Amino acid sequence: MRTVYFREDHMARAIRKIHVRSTGCWEWTGTIDLRSGYGKAGNGVRYINKYGYPSEVKEQSHRVFYRHFIGPIPDGLELDHLCVNRKCSNPWHLEPVTSAENARRMMERRPFCINGHDKSLPGATYKRKGMPNFRGHCKICVMEQDRAYRDRVGQQTINEYARQRRAAKKAAALQV
């Protein structure tokens, strides 16, 4: 059974990891999640892990600071960085918004894809199957990726694979 207890000094420890920028951003200098780019801070909840050592529950640093200085994050909303700095933990640079609004704002703030192609032109992006509406993929990048794949694998191999798939579908339809 895990023993859970609350650590009172977690905010004092977290504040030591803040660097205040001239823009007003409280930039997190502690651990950064490599995938998301957000700071990771302990939220004060400690427990004894399965190896018998004390561990602290880690959470995105801006969420910890928002809850401490402003209050709970409303259900169904996420925090949008108005300063567009993922390392910023200043709670007054954050606004609770819906996921759709956050995604819309993100697309407005980033008019170029990671390779520098202009995504604001009409028809420059498209929605991939199963992706949310606001995650447009750059058509130029996708065409370049497809071209590189065809060069690497060979168009003949791709055509042969398609033929095999059609034959398998036809055989499955005949068996039913």
Tally the domains of the chain.
Answer: 2
pLDDT tens-digit readout, 110-157:
777 767 777 777 777 665 555 544 455 677 888 888 888 878 777 777
CB 138 within 8 A of CB 115: yes
Contact 108, 120 (CB under 8 A): no
The reply to whether 2 and 50 lie within a common domain is: yes
Any domain includes 101: no
Phi, psi of 56 (to 5 degrees): -120, 140
Same domain, 7 and 87: yes
Token pair 């028809």 is found at 123
Which residue range forms the structural domain that includes residue 24? 1-75+83-91
Find residue 19's DSSP bridge partners.
27
Task: Tell me: do 34 and 68 sit in the same domain.
Answer: yes
Among 44, 61, 91, the domain-final residue is 91
State the CB neighbour count (10 A cutoff) for residue 89: 29
| Single residue among 24, 57, 91 that ends a domain in this structure | 91
Give this prediction's pTM: 0.61
- Do 11 and 66 fall into the same domain? yes
Domain match, 10 and 59 both:
yes
71 and 154 both lie in a single domain: no
Same domain, 87 and 131: no
Query: What's the average model confidence in pLDDT over 51-74?
Result: 86
Asked if 97 contacts 68 with a C-beta cutoff of 8 angstroms, the reply is no
Same domain membership, residue 52 and residue 136? no
Q: Is residue 7 part of a domain?
A: yes
Instruction: Name the H helices within the chain.
Output: 10-15, 61-69, 99-109, 139-153, 155-175
What distance in Å separates the CA atoms of residue 125 and residue 81, rounded to the nearest whole number?
Answer: 24
User: One-letter amino acid identity for 14?
Assistant: A
Residue 87 sits in the same domain as residue 120: no
Tell me, yes or no, whether 125 lies in a domain.
Answer: yes
Burial letters for 140-152: b for 16+ Cβ neighbours within 10 Å, e otherwise? bbeeeeeeeeeee
The answer as to whether 56 is a domain residue is: yes
The verdict on 9 and 70 lying in the same domain is yes
Which pLDDT does position 126 carry in this prediction?
61
Confidence of residue 95 (pLDDT cuts 50, 70, 90): very high
- HSE value, Cβ hemisphere, 13 Å, CA-based, for 14: 27
Instruction: Identify the band that residue 45 occupies on the pLDDT scale cut at 50, 70 and 90.
Output: confident
Whether 3 is in a domain gets the answer: yes
Average pLDDT over the chain, rounded to whole? 80
